[in-house]
Structure 1
């Protein structure tokens, strides 16, 4: 079914195809973040950082890719000892694709203009002076970004399910714990270190 192709490509494509697609987008995201001056201050959160160095963008990409991978492979092995590393890795890198597309969309000139206007208004306490058009565009953009984030999580869940044959509620509790822990480790440990090291 086409819905399975969209929401669970791990059952339809070969592991090589998934790995190439995921790795290509990870590489593209590094260049995109470096070019656009954006940084991942969380596994699933992006912030502006003017003058971000290419090395930092690379280390961030490796961190927000392999940290969830390591915790998810641990969870996957607890669910099913036969869980393969390559399947969890593919799920981890492929699920970043929608978020990378979202960041690319944010580089559209009219969206950048809206974002800059909102940031400036927030800094000068003049949010009430923003135009209705700016607010509507901002709202729609936020909803699109939220949809892409949800889609990413769905891809990761389905990838984990396919890789480990997760079925029971406690399997998904392990999945959730792995993601929450990876977010906390990255946000509270890795990102502060990188931010201090490269600024």
Structure 2
């Protein structure tokens, strides 16, 4: 079970992972729509009202492409035999924690909490006990799922490129941050 959750890349073939990744991306996008979740950056998830069905699909497409650009280029720098399918499946599978995280808002509680915040008066914010507990749990779960995302992304990338050097690992982290910046720029333009 641990291998399935943290490193499915060693156990399953690229075609199996690709099929599962595509199915989970579609399912995750639909789930995000019903949970009012936006994937508005490679490592971002926000909640809001007024989404249309295409929003999470567009968000995911931008995030996947942004990650692919930087990770594939880095993969070729590390190992010229890096294959496109390996990088794509890595990204598709690694994004699953974000899809699951959107379930936090299935009752729209995060949107209700957000709507109680007056941006003009940030010094006078009050939350009920339930809202405080919800925010605390959401924060902790988010940190765990973000770590899960990075672990999946790293394990898949390591399998795809045979990464070993510390400098490559640092570049991997930088690639994620550059992908985040690119996705934010593209989403801002759209």
Normalised to the residue count of structure 2, the TM-score between the two structures is 0.88
Contact 2:79 2:161 in 1 (8 A): yes
Of 180, 188, 193, the residue aligned with 2:189 is 193
Whole-angstrom CA distance in 1 between matches of 2:55 and 2:133: 34
Aligned-partner SS, 2:46 = strand
Contact 1:118 1:127 in 2 (8 A): no
Of 113, 117, 121, the residue aligned with 2:116 is 121
Deviation at 1:141, TM superposition (A): 2.1
Contact 1:71 1:182 in 2 (8 A): yes
1:95-147 Cα offsets, whole Å, 9 max, x none, are: 0111101112331x3xx33x24432332276533x233331232012201210
Q: Which position in structure 2 is the counterpart of 1:197?
A: none
Contact 2:87 2:160 in 1 (8 A): yes
Q: Which position in structure 1 is the counterpart of 2:34?
A: 35
* Worse-matched range after superposition: 35-44 or 87-96: 35-44
Q: Which position in structure 1 is the counterpart of 2:77?
A: 78
Contact 1:72 1:178 in 2 (8 A): yes
Whole-angstrom CA distance in 2 between matches of 1:155 and 1:174: 17
Larger relative helix fraction? 1
Aligned-partner SS, 2:176 = helix
Aligned pairs (5 A) from 1:60-139? 60-107=59-106, 109=107, 112-113=108-109, 115-123=110-118, 127-128=125-126, 130-139=127-136
CA change 1:136–1:49 in 2 (3 A) is: closer
Whole-angstrom CA distance in 1 between matches of 2:136 and 2:103: 18
1:37-93 Cα offsets, whole Å, 9 max, x none, are: 332222111223432333343222211112201210110111011111111111100
Count of aligned residue pairs for this structure pair: 187
2:19 corresponds to 1:23? no
